[in-house]
Structure 1
Amino acid sequence: MGLEVAVFALQRSIDAHPVPEGVIAFAVDAADDKSVKEGLSALTAQWDSVDILVFLVGFMSVPPSTIEEMPIEEWDAIAAGNLRSAFMVSAATLPLLKRGKEPNIVMVGSSLAYNPISGESAYAAAKAGLVALTKSLAIENAPKIRANLVAPSAIETSFLAGGGGERGIKALNSGGDEWFRKMSDAYVPTIPMRRIAQPEDIVGPILFLAGPTASFITGQVIHVNGGRVTP
């Protein structure tokens, strides 16, 4: 699958992970409507259509906060970062997708939408909303545009150690690796495949859903969790 790729990411993420040669990057905050529109405007100046939108955005509570403990500001921030952002990005990209070749959307959600854990209610609720948003996109835009979702469990990345967001960055910089080791020791025995997912475990399902062999698949969820969650 030969592709031209554009990446929307926070500036700090672009700085920390430079994109490969040939990939164009735009500094965009997916939770900010103005930033999303400016990013799409810059992209439209270079491209007149989009074939594939892969939406992989989000952060969670680190440390975990129960519903009783969680400040409403934290709930709002997590909901905006995980769900509102998906609405804004997909809505803004639809005009470009409609001009694309066999266009489709692949959302990346979470198994927590189906199997929440204590302290992550906002994240789980937002990811459950992302499932419904994906199905709505599929219904509203068929047969021209497909929309599906990959729901992974924990993946061994810096996000897992830090949770993303400003609080997550602070957590990662002050012992996130130790937290990951403790979490891994407790979590791995609950996974039938007996390991944490690696990024490449998620890439395959994304490419499958984005490609021509999935041309009759829309509004669906692929679960990639080593058998831990079987909805």
Structure 2
Amino acid sequence: MSSFDNQTVIVTGGGGGIGGATCRRFAAAGAKVAVFDRDLGAAQKVADAIQASGGQAAAFPCDITDRAQVDAAVKTATEQLGPIDVLVNNAGWDVFKPFTKTSPDEWARLIAINLTGALHMHHAVLPGMVARSKEAGWRGARIVNIASDAARVGSSGEAVYAACKGGLVSFSKTLAREHARHGITVNVVCPGPTDTALFADYKEGAGNPEKLEEAFKRSIPLGRIGQPDDLPGAILFFASPDAAFVTGQVLSVSGGLTMNG
């Protein structure tokens, strides 16, 4: 495992399944972890567990759809933990319905959380990263965006979510080009079906959760649903010095469900 000693990492949605697993893995590798979540109690639970294990972490309330909250959380995290070295945009939300049964209000919330929220985070964090790129001894900064295999191949019942995540992929590739000269890399991890609260909602929305889960297991070459701990390895790779020459890339972590040549 690469060392992240003395590096400050923000993880949005850090109180959830994938976010919490990612926070714990960064802390185990020596990072100072800023756990961002709109649910402060969930974020604090992750931070407390990290601290109890000897790691460094602090919880910050942050609704990424609210730019004022984003700016305040980034400012406070920087003051408490230091300049941001790694940003992991993980927070997300979905509603599981055929597109024609969704409403404009649902579209607005999906876009606000899954796309605009990530834009807020980049816009708040990138200026500091760019400013530091002019300093002597700059080692580069890393951004890892969590999209979805729905962005790559589509997913029934997730049309607007897939559109948002597809937009995040394209946005990431563009920022990778714009900020390569600053030594900032931007990459994307696309989870497949993963055992999180979001996936539980997806199964419930389908009306037959057990049948749907079995269908996924049969379609995944590795024969199981992903677990939150399956994701941090890919995320930490993109954030590590091992990926210093990797930018604008998309990696699927789906047990082989969506193989791509």
- Aligned equivalents of 2:211 and 2:41: distance in 1? 26
Tell me the number of residue pairs that the alignment of Structure 1 and Structure 2 aligns: 218
Give the secondary-structure state (helix, strand or coil) at the position aligned to 1:194. Answer: coil
- Taking a change above 3 Å as real, the CA distance of residues 29 and 202 of structure 1, as seen in their structure-2 partners, is same
| Alignment pair present for 1:50 and 2:89 | no
- Aligned equivalents of 1:23 and 1:47: distance in 2? 8
Alignment check: 8 A CA contact 1:14 1:27 kept: no
- Aligned equivalents of 2:219 and 2:179: distance in 1? 38
Match of 2:211 in 1: 182
- Aligned equivalents of 2:220 and 2:41: distance in 1? 30
Matches within 5 A, 1:131-150: 131-143=169-181, 144-150=183-189
Which one-letter code corresponds to 1:110 in the other structure?
S
Match of 1:224 in 2: 253
CA shift, 1:38, in A, is: 1.4
- Aligned equivalents of 1:208 and 1:199: distance in 2? 16
Match of 1:10 in 2: 38
With structure 2 as the length reference, what TM-score do the two structures score? 0.78
Which one-letter code corresponds to 2:63 in the other structure?
D
Give the secondary-structure state (helix, strand or coil) at the position aligned to 1:105. Answer: strand
Alignment check: 8 A CA contact 1:55 1:108 kept: yes
- Aligned equivalents of 2:239 and 2:173: distance in 1? 16
CA shift, 1:56, in A, is: 0.3
| Alignment pair present for 1:85 and 2:113 | no
- Aligned equivalents of 1:108 and 1:93: distance in 2? 16
- Aligned equivalents of 1:224 and 1:149: distance in 2? 11
Match of 1:159 in 2: 198
Structure 2 unaligned residues grouped into runs of 5+: 4-29, 133-137
Give me the CA root mean square deviation. 2.0
- Aligned equivalents of 1:54 and 1:80: distance in 2? 17
Alignment check: 8 A CA contact 2:145 2:189 kept: yes
Structure 1 unaligned residues grouped into runs of 5+: 164-170
Give the secondary-structure state (helix, strand or coil) at the position aligned to 2:59. Answer: strand
Give the secondary-structure state (helix, strand or coil) at the position aligned to 2:223. Answer: coil
Give the secondary-structure state (helix, strand or coil) at the position aligned to 2:46. Answer: coil
With structure 1 as the length reference, what TM-score do the two structures score? 0.87
Match of 2:167 in 1: 129
Task: Report Cα offsets for 1:160-218 as digits up to 9, x if no partner.
Answer: 1135xxxxxxx9xxx78x95433211211111111111112111111111101111000
Identical counterparts, % of pairs:
35
Matches within 5 A, 1:187-226: 187-226=216-255
- Taking a change above 3 Å as real, the CA distance of residues 117 and 91 of structure 1, as seen in their structure-2 partners, is same
Match of 1:104 in 2: 142
- Aligned equivalents of 1:206 and 1:12: distance in 2? 23
